[in-house]
Structure 1
Amino acid sequence: MSNKRRLWQIFGPVICAIVLLIVVFQLPWERTFSKDAIFQAANSQTLTVFKGVKMKQEAYDDGYVPFYGSSELSRLDPMHPSVLAEAYHRNYRPFLLGGPGSQSLVQFIGMQGTSEQLKNKKAVVIISPQWFTKQGQNPAAFQMYYSPLETSIFILNAKNTVADRYAAKRILMMPGIKGVIKDGLQKVAAGKKLSDYDRFMLKRKLQVLKNEDTFFSSLQMRDRVQKIRQRAAKLPKRYSTAALTKIATETGEKHTTSNQFGIDNQFFRTRFNKQILKKLKGSQKHFNYVKSPEYSDFELMLSQFAKQGTNVEFIIPPVNSKWAKYTGLSEKMYQQSVRKIKYQLMSQGFYQIADLSKKGNKPYFMEDTIHLGWNGWIAVDKAVRSFMAQPDGHYNYKLKKYYFTKKWQNQTQVGSVNKKLVKSN
């Protein structure tokens, strides 16, 4: 047997498999997901779902509503939006998007593939003022949530606008950007038009990424459906705010017996000991959420909502007042950041705001130091129920380029907020 034939027998099947794989991923593939798979995806909060497109598209077409947020969405306690929607057969289902470190920039990227599905529909955004630090988007968290698929969609659809140029520049500041995506972003950032070759290469890459999403988006999902259904089954058969508040208060009281901060026992036990607590006393007195590049990253989300005509409910949570006092976090500073966020929203026509930022001293409103808890979720549900009762329709917003400037990022004083336009829960 010749050496050539022997080598072919060894490497031929491998080469054929590689060629076949390349061909398969270059061709468009179609797939639909079952309702059970979509329900599982909507509550899994896994990276494959967050960074994908196909599953979200089908979910939004089927009546799911995106809940953009971060780590507060991970706590599936009995009053969580997904549990209440299941228990009381709501005409919407939350699609949970986010986790620890998923700030405005990665959320903006994650919105690129579902623009058509959210046109003239609704969305909910839980804003964390803790995002608005001096650094803004954490680079390590960005790399974890970064979606080449949705970034490719952004580049191919980008126009020479302030928002698109700013988005491209911000993404280029983050780690993990390379290849044709980096080349495309550099052109968008410079206000240059993509060449035919650029578009050809991006579309080839996009097709591969779409096929990967179609094949793999249903894998590695956390199955939390059973947990949601079990907790929903334990709630009163008929919806009653008073009955749910009673359950929430009793649950909170039972689960916060180990500390003076109203923090969940398990969380407190796993995160703190005497030595750590001692170090944290007064540790946040210099924190400042008023000056941050996050304000301009947040404007990217608003520009995407405006492009889609999406009606959005914004939730602004508080911090645990007892914990803030212990760590020295300034309530005055926190409220200053809240005023700035609300001013940015309302001055552009985003009036649906549930400002819960002053509720941090209410019993069992928070589950730990910064995350909404038992009674907090009931307040969120009150706002969301009212919001979801509104009819769908196109919303026109008046966006301002000023919010992409460093001057706005560092501005400390803003005009007064018209409280009549803001919900108080």
Structure 2
Amino acid sequence: MKKKYLFGPIILALVLFAGVVFVPVSWLAKLVPADRLEESAISLEPNMFQGTYLQSEMLKHSKYVPIYGSSELSRWDPFHPSNYFETNAAPFTPYLVGKGGMTSIIHDLNFATHAARLKNKQMVIIVSPQWFVKHGTDEQHFAPNYSSLQAYELPFNKEVDEQVKRKLMQRLMTYNAVKNDTILYQLYDAYLNDKKIKFNILSVPAKTYLSVLKKKDLYFTLLNDSTTNRHQSAEVKDKTWEELQTQADTYGEERTQQSEFYIDDKVYNHKKHSIKEMKGKNKGRSYAESPEYDDFQLMLDILKQSGAEPLFVIIPVNGAYYDYTGFPEKGRQDYYTRIKTQINDSGFTYADYSDYEYEPYFMRDTIHIGWKGWVYLDEDMQKFLE
């Protein structure tokens, strides 16, 4: 009798596992709550970034304007685009796609995955100078943001230019997260070296695993019932841009009493010791040379081929703080020049804030846009979308 009790749970588990694996994706999609897409617009949920379902649904709807970036998107305040446009009943809804450590290579893979849905899609892409460090995105920032689902889809993607796809695959293969995935790494290797028999053989387990990952994405979408705690503030309602700038100045001044660098007091007090240690430490540094420029070019190429309509946002550094650390002005200006040249050469539009390095309250801390910076971006977004 004990053996029957022992095998019963095992059999039940196998049955449930089979149900999870073999249930059709279309069935799962019908179970997604109607309000899940709207909720995800400000959730900043990693499962959404690394999945495909919610982003694909978002790109179908003209009301959603995706904002791609990194950690600045989580710096919430009344002037944040998601709050500003909701409070003022805009005809569109910003959809936030980004978290700390997400740089060009992560966005490249994401854009490649959704290339078929990007035609004529207006979007905003916030580019941070800190992405363009000498050795490019490291494993520590790549691994937590990388999407296995999107990586497994890439070899079977027919929407992306062949040469761009190959360059992207070669770049991904430099990271341990891909190297340590034997099937994926060997699949890429077979594709890049035109080993058709090997590729066809590996495609069988790869597509099986891809199917599991797609279902996993949908299960996370179904189970994600936690509400996002982002307080909506009406203090920015029905204000002129001049009034908002003045309001942002006051808002920022009240929150930067402890630091000479216009850094949020909470951030400064938390990192006061490390900030003091940074005096003169960045002499000789530069954002002029980085593998990130090649990663960024892949992004431009994918977006251009797919027919997307992006507004790039060139974020400045905190000039006062960068001077304090000894980071040369030339190493910053070379970055601004180079990134604008790349965007121009691709025929895209950008909002250039490189002259605002010393603008009080434009930056929230040492690297993140905030307060007055958001006001400038809100205005430029509205003009771009109109």
TM normalised by structure 1 equals 0.83
Map residues 366-377 of structure 1 onto 2, 5 A cutoff.
366-377=363-374
1:279-330 Cα offsets, whole Å, 9 max, x none, are 2101112222111111111122112212320011000011111101111112
SS in 1 for 2:65: strand
Match in the other structure for 2:103: 103
SS in 2 for 1:124: strand
Provide closer, same or farther for how the CA distance between residues 19 and 184 of structure 1 changes in structure 2, counting only shifts above 3 A: farther
Cα distance in 1 for partners of 2:318, 2:185 equals 41
Deviates more, 1:132-141 or 1:28-37: 28-37
The code of the aligned residue for 2:321 comes to W
Match in the other structure for 1:163: 164
Cα distance in 1 for partners of 2:226, 2:258 equals 30
Are the equivalent residues in 2 in contact too, given 1:364–1:373 (CA < 8 A)?
yes
Cα distance in 1 for partners of 2:11, 2:186 equals 30
1:330-381 Cα offsets, whole Å, 9 max, x none, are 222111111111111211222x011101102112111101111111111111
Provide closer, same or farther for how the CA distance between residues 65 and 84 of structure 1 changes in structure 2, counting only shifts above 3 A: same
Deviates more, 1:13-22 or 1:78-87: 13-22
Are the equivalent residues in 2 in contact too, given 1:165–1:190 (CA < 8 A)?
no
Match in the other structure for 2:346: 348
Report the Cα offset of residue 215 of structure 1: 0.9
Q: Structure 1: which 5+ residue stretches go unaligned?
A: 390-425
Are the equivalent residues in 2 in contact too, given 1:50–1:98 (CA < 8 A)?
yes
| Alignment pair present for 1:206 and 2:204 | no
| Alignment pair present for 1:382 and 2:379 | yes
Cα distance in 2 for partners of 1:377, 1:114 equals 27
Report the Cα offset of residue 135 of structure 1: 1.5
Cα distance in 1 for partners of 2:304, 2:188 equals 22
1:118-168 Cα offsets, whole Å, 9 max, x none, are 222111111112111111112122110111111111121167833212111
| Alignment pair present for 1:113 and 2:78 | no
* Alignment length (residue pairs): 378
Report the Cα offset of residue 226 of structure 1: 4.5
Provide closer, same or farther for how the CA distance between residues 384 and 140 of structure 1 changes in structure 2, counting only shifts above 3 A: same
Provide closer, same or farther for how the CA distance between residues 368 and 314 of structure 1 changes in structure 2, counting only shifts above 3 A: same
SS in 1 for 2:96: strand
Map residues 221-236 of structure 1 onto 2, 5 A cutoff.
223-224=227-228, 226-227=230-231, 229=232, 231=233, 233-236=234-237
Provide closer, same or farther for how the CA distance between residues 213 and 346 of structure 1 changes in structure 2, counting only shifts above 3 A: same
The code of the aligned residue for 1:287 comes to R
Are the equivalent residues in 1 in contact too, given 2:119–2:307 (CA < 8 A)?
yes
Map residues 122-201 of structure 1 onto 2, 5 A cutoff.
122-157=122-157, 161-177=162-178, 178-193=181-196, 195-201=199-205
Match in the other structure for 1:53: 52
Cα distance in 2 for partners of 1:188, 1:295 equals 25
Provide closer, same or farther for how the CA distance between residues 191 and 70 of structure 1 changes in structure 2, counting only shifts above 3 A: farther
Report the Cα offset of residue 208 of structure 1: 0.9
Match in the other structure for 1:36: 35
Report the Cα offset of residue 213 of structure 1: 0.6
Cα distance in 1 for partners of 2:244, 2:81 equals 13
Match in the other structure for 2:249: 249
Cα distance in 2 for partners of 1:335, 1:247 equals 30
Match among 275, 284, 287 for residue 286 of structure 1? 284
Provide closer, same or farther for how the CA distance between residues 108 and 218 of structure 1 changes in structure 2, counting only shifts above 3 A: farther
Cα distance in 2 for partners of 1:70, 1:222 equals 22
Cα distance in 2 for partners of 1:333, 1:127 equals 16
SS in 2 for 1:144: coil
Cα distance in 1 for partners of 2:225, 2:255 equals 28
Deviates more, 1:17-26 or 1:178-187: 17-26
SS in 2 for 1:164: helix
Are the equivalent residues in 2 in contact too, given 1:315–1:356 (CA < 8 A)?
yes
Match in the other structure for 1:18: 14
Deviates more, 1:293-302 or 1:150-159: 150-159
Are the equivalent residues in 1 in contact too, given 2:164–2:302 (CA < 8 A)?
no
The code of the aligned residue for 2:214 comes to K
Cα distance in 1 for partners of 2:76, 2:156 equals 37
CA RMSD of aligned residues (A): 2.1
Cα distance in 1 for partners of 2:189, 2:236 equals 53
Match in the other structure for 2:86: 86
Are the equivalent residues in 2 in contact too, given 1:28–1:207 (CA < 8 A)?
no
Report the Cα offset of residue 186 of structure 1: 1.5
Report the Cα offset of residue 217 of structure 1: 2.8
